[in-house]
Structure 1
Amino acid sequence: MSAAHVRRGSSGRARPKKPGPRVSVPRKLAARLPVEEAQANRLAGWAFGLFALLTIAAALIALDVPAKVGQAAGEAVGDAGFRVRSVDVQGIKRMDPRPVYDIALDQRTMAMPLVDVADIRRRLLDYGWVKDARVSRRFPDTLVIDIVERTPAALWQDEQQLSLIDSEGVVLDRVPVSQMPDLPLLVGRGANGQAVVLDRLLSRVPTLKAQLVSASWIGQRRWDLSFQSGEVLMLPEGEQNAATALTRFAKMDKSAGLLGRGILRFDLRIPGKMTVRLPHLPGERQPSPPVSES
């Protein structure tokens, strides 16, 4: 019997395996991993502290504590000698200064840090004469108020009420009839609101503007102009139509001397035509003939 050959394996000790490649965790994935317990406790403590601070701040605001603290601090500064004791008003030439002092001194407190200069300015701007105002503190004890006045440009008569207005039609003050200044007179409801338009019209004809006595705003649509020589000039509706008619009339007056000849009325309401009304004897009927502007 032939000998059996047995094939033996290699040595029983296993060969060490080569280490596999190291896997690095991406940063985004690492950010999702749970934090350590100590770090989590710190974060929780910070969050609770922030919440507590916000809660306390909300409670203080609800109780108006910051305002009360600021008020107390301002009053303390005032008690140290920083209180309003004088008001220096500048820029006034025509208006009565008393309302300015009344507004400046009408304060909840006279402590300099607590005087509301913005509110003083706002209230001054509500006063007709005041076009602009600057209010400032001059420590230790003075308020400085610099007034920019409006300039009177005309009188406005609405029914029985007479008012002084500026070039923009802003009412400056009431005027007694006995104290009427020598200014053009605007008559009619809403006439003051058309003062700017009227000024533009008259600026085209300075020779007529110098002779103007009054301007009546008729039906809140158009102007009747009255001159020193007694004539009335009836203008059409619309600024452009009125400007055209007024410019043509000024040229005709310059060449033919229409004003001062006793004519009562010039009617320019119809474009391209002028109707005049002439004086006549008592009992005599005299029609007003149409006259071409050309």
Structure 2
Amino acid sequence: MRSVRQARKPRDGRGKQGRSSARGVARGAAQQPFGRRKSLRGNPISRALRAVHAFLDLRRPMLIMTLVIVLLTALAGLFASGVVGRTVHRTAAGFDTLLADAGFGVSQVHLSGNLRTPQVTVVAALGFTPGQSIFSVDLPAARARLMALPWVAEAGVKRRYPDDIIVRIVEKQPFARWQTPKDSYVVERSGAVITDKGLDQFRRLPLLLGDGAPQNAAPFIAAVDGHRAIAARVYAYQYQSGRRWNLLLDDGVVAKLPETGWRKQLDTLEHLIVDKGVLERDIVEIDLRSPTQYFFVTKTGEPKEKKPTVSGRAI
């Protein structure tokens, strides 16, 4: 028997045509915009929003800077008006009150070292109020006020918790009295003025006369103190012309010392007082400014015979 096969029709044409049609449809679909997107692009509100957004993107740094300037200006105005300061002060005051109520209020001030500075003066200079919070005490400011007191050379202020303040004072040491044409003062060894008050209690201190005397007196007075006969008879130390010293002795006798070599002439004056009894004579002046001789001036104003000296000792 013969086999009969049914021949299949070629499908190439239809496939190609189908694919071409599909591509055409797809291409047409790709080229055809959606109706909604097209409508958004044409919407005036959408265009306005996009314009604002683009403007903000471009102007963002400038806007931030403007906002910062406005904020700083507002803060400066608040500070200038005192609003911030008053608020902070009220808050701090309230906090200090809480601390004081909790047992941290100043109750005692322990003071030491004040001999000539009254206690009431020290307390006033500290500036504390009873019950004030110990944490609010300004220690540097309190110390500065103490240092401004005339007799205070050094001061220390510290807290001792929970409620004590410790104050230690070192006072200046009076060295001499300095008399000027206008006033009198108590001075330190360095020559610094301490005070011009209450001088009666310092009558036993050496008396200095002349400009520059306080700054130059310490070594000279120490040397004079080493000569007991002279020191016992000195009434005042006079600094003359900013260069040398005169000793004003008892009974108005003036001993004139040289600018240099005065230590040796102090030995000579001691010898004249002790061994020669020169102060018992009728003289008002002993001139020791020459390194080799000395002479006296009598009360009549006539100088006596000059006496030669050898190694500072009268012959």
Superposition TM-score tier, normalisation by shorter sequence: 0.5 to 0.7
Structure 1: which amino acid aligns with 2:136?
A: L
Is the CA contact (8 Å cut-off) linking 1:162 and 1:176 kept in structure 2? no
Matches within 5 A, 1:120-135: 120-135=142-157
Question: CA 1:164/1:277 → structure 2, altered by over 3 Å: closer, same or farther?
Answer: same
Shift of 1:225: 1.0
Is the CA contact (8 Å cut-off) linking 2:186 and 2:199 kept in structure 1? no
**Could you say which structure has the higher helix fraction?**
2
Q: TM-score, normalised by structure 2?
A: 0.60
Deviations 1:77-105 (A, max 9, x none): 34533233443322222334443222212
Question: CA 1:110/1:224 → structure 2, altered by over 3 Å: closer, same or farther?
Answer: farther
Structure 2 partner of 1:136:
158
Shift of 1:121: 2.9
Q: Distance in 1 between matches of 2:226 and 2:111?
A: 39
Q: TM-score, normalised by structure 1?
A: 0.64
1:213 maps to 2:235 = yes
Shift of 1:293: 3.2
Q: Distance in 2 between matches of 1:74 and 1:247?
A: 69
Question: CA 1:142/1:277 → structure 2, altered by over 3 Å: closer, same or farther?
Answer: same
Identity %: 28
Structure 2: which amino acid aligns with 1:289?
A: E
- Bigger relative CO (Cα 8 Å, ≥ 6 apart): 1
Structure 2 partner of 1:272:
292
Structure 1 partner of 2:208:
186
Question: CA 1:78/1:269 → structure 2, altered by over 3 Å: closer, same or farther?
Answer: farther
Is the CA contact (8 Å cut-off) linking 2:246 and 2:254 kept in structure 1? yes
Deviations 1:122-179 (A, max 9, x none): 4433433223223222333332212222232321112221111233323222146766
Deviations 1:15-71 (A, max 9, x none): xxxxxxxxxxxxxxxxxxxxxxxxxxxxxxxxxxxxxxxxxxxxxxxx9xxxx89x6
Question: CA 1:97/1:202 → structure 2, altered by over 3 Å: closer, same or farther?
Answer: farther
Q: Which has the larger radius of gyration?
A: 2
Structure 1 partner of 2:121:
99
Question: CA 1:291/1:97 → structure 2, altered by over 3 Å: closer, same or farther?
Answer: farther
Structure 2 partner of 1:232:
254
Structure 2 partner of 1:290:
306
Structure 2 partner of 1:195:
217
Structure 2: which amino acid aligns with 1:173?
A: T
Shift of 1:286: 2.3
Structure 1: which amino acid aligns with 2:204?
A: D
Is the CA contact (8 Å cut-off) linking 1:128 and 1:170 kept in structure 2? no
Q: Distance in 1 between matches of 2:158 and 2:213?
A: 37
Structure 2 partner of 1:172:
194
Q: How many aligned positions are there?
A: 225
